[in-house]
Structure 1
């Protein structure tokens, strides 16, 4: 019987490779004034149009106090606004301001360009193979959820 090779070192090697190649460990996401976590929050608010902090916590699996600090920064920077929910006065709805929408648009375009630059030298077969393998990774890891 052949003993299965421990996959952990290879998975960690891939994680280091990918986080490095797309700059996830840089202090500022895509040369913006915002971290990866802040950029993701901006994305989640943009996607939901008007969301509660609890929704962001669930989607991002982020600590409540950490999220609170990040939201305060985004509010101070004029990117988000909080309003009381019409259904529940205790619930606050978070939305992007016009400045927040502009920041999202800039980050989104920069992210698209980064990925485009990364795959530009790949032929169409390699691009499709890359996407197929990425989808396979997500599908395999989702099975355990």
Structure 2
């Protein structure tokens, strides 16, 4: 990425930051017309929901200066909103919790904040609300590395998600490898054939989901009575090297075995090094290499297979 493109993207993020903070009223000094600043309200929120029990954890979670946080907590304590008790596991630490008075103060703030957000969402059609929330979850997932260490679950794609998978993979391969639109056409045909002719006992598909965000996909489709093929095997770049691809491929193997196939196949290209390593780890062997003109370039294709 050149400097001008990096600058353009940075300015786009800054523009969104300005828009969003103004939209939610984050530039107001106090929350919900109360005596509490936004930072104070966030600390109350963390304590009320048990997200952090020590000052060190609060400072880390909220990115606050420890000196500033210490003064804020002392103020809460003077107002009988906060109690401290020694930690049984570490005598140097105190466990923090809200008093009954603190909870009484916090609850109307929380309810008012929820009502304000609900009022904003009410102006948006339900389908667009879902789209907005999914976009917010993806932003969190992209910016918080800890979320990429969380649990990944596999589920059947919901309405519209097959189309999204085609879009995402076509977009990524075009950006990274300059593949032409014929790749998107191929993906669309694979999905269309699968949805139109699918035998539920012999064919299936999954999306991998982490923290509410789709991070990968895979399908098993029938080639013959004894052979199945893995299609649309994909993992988002930021989610790679965390076992998502292995989880998807293992599930493909399990399903194909239960469905009565004796062989599972897939194809990839040598420059997708992670894909080759993944195939070997899952017990596949490279059975053939060919060269073909595909997606606007001369590609070497690897045919991998595994006996079941």
Per the normalisation by structure 2, the TM-score is 0.43
Alignment match, 2:83: 81
Alignment match, 2:37: 35
Alignment match, 1:47: 49
Alignment of 1:1-145 (within 5 A): 4=5, 6-48=8-50, 51-143=53-145
Number of corresponding residues? 144
Separation in structure 2 between the aligned mates of residue 94 and residue 72 of structure 1, nearest angstrom: 11
How far 1:40 moved relative to its partner? 1.0
Report if the CA contact (8 A) 1:50-1:95 is conserved: no
Q: Which one has more relative contact order, counting CA pairs under 8 Å at least 6 apart?
A: 1
How far 1:23 moved relative to its partner? 1.3
Look up the SS of the partner of 1:95 in the other structure: strand
Q: Which consecutive residues of structure 2, in runs of 5 or more, have no partner in the other structure?
A: 148-308
How far 1:132 moved relative to its partner? 1.2
Residue-by-residue CA offset, 1:17-67 (whole Å, 9 max, x unaligned): 111111112111121111111111111111228711111111112111010
Please identify which structure carries the higher helix content: 1
Look up the SS of the partner of 2:134 in the other structure: helix
How far 1:144 moved relative to its partner? 9.0
Report if the CA contact (8 A) 1:49-1:95 is conserved: no
Separation in structure 2 between the aligned mates of residue 93 and residue 63 of structure 1, nearest angstrom: 19
Tell me which stretches of 4 or more aligned residues in structure 1 moved more than 6 Å. none
How far 1:84 moved relative to its partner? 2.1
Residue-by-residue CA offset, 1:81-118 (whole Å, 9 max, x unaligned): 12222344332111101111112211211111110111
Separation in structure 1 between the aligned mates of residue 92 and residue 130 of structure 2, nearest angstrom: 47
Please identify which structure carries the higher strand content: 2
Per the normalisation by structure 1, the TM-score is 0.88
Query: Which structure has the bigger radius of gyration?
Result: 2
Look up the SS of the partner of 1:81 in the other structure: strand
How far 1:142 moved relative to its partner? 2.3
Higher mean C-alpha deviation, range 81-90 or range 134-143: 81-90
Report if the CA contact (8 A) 2:46-2:52 is conserved: no
Q: CA RMSD in A?
A: 2.2
Q: Which consecutive residues of structure 1, in runs of 5 or more, have no partner in the other structure?
A: none
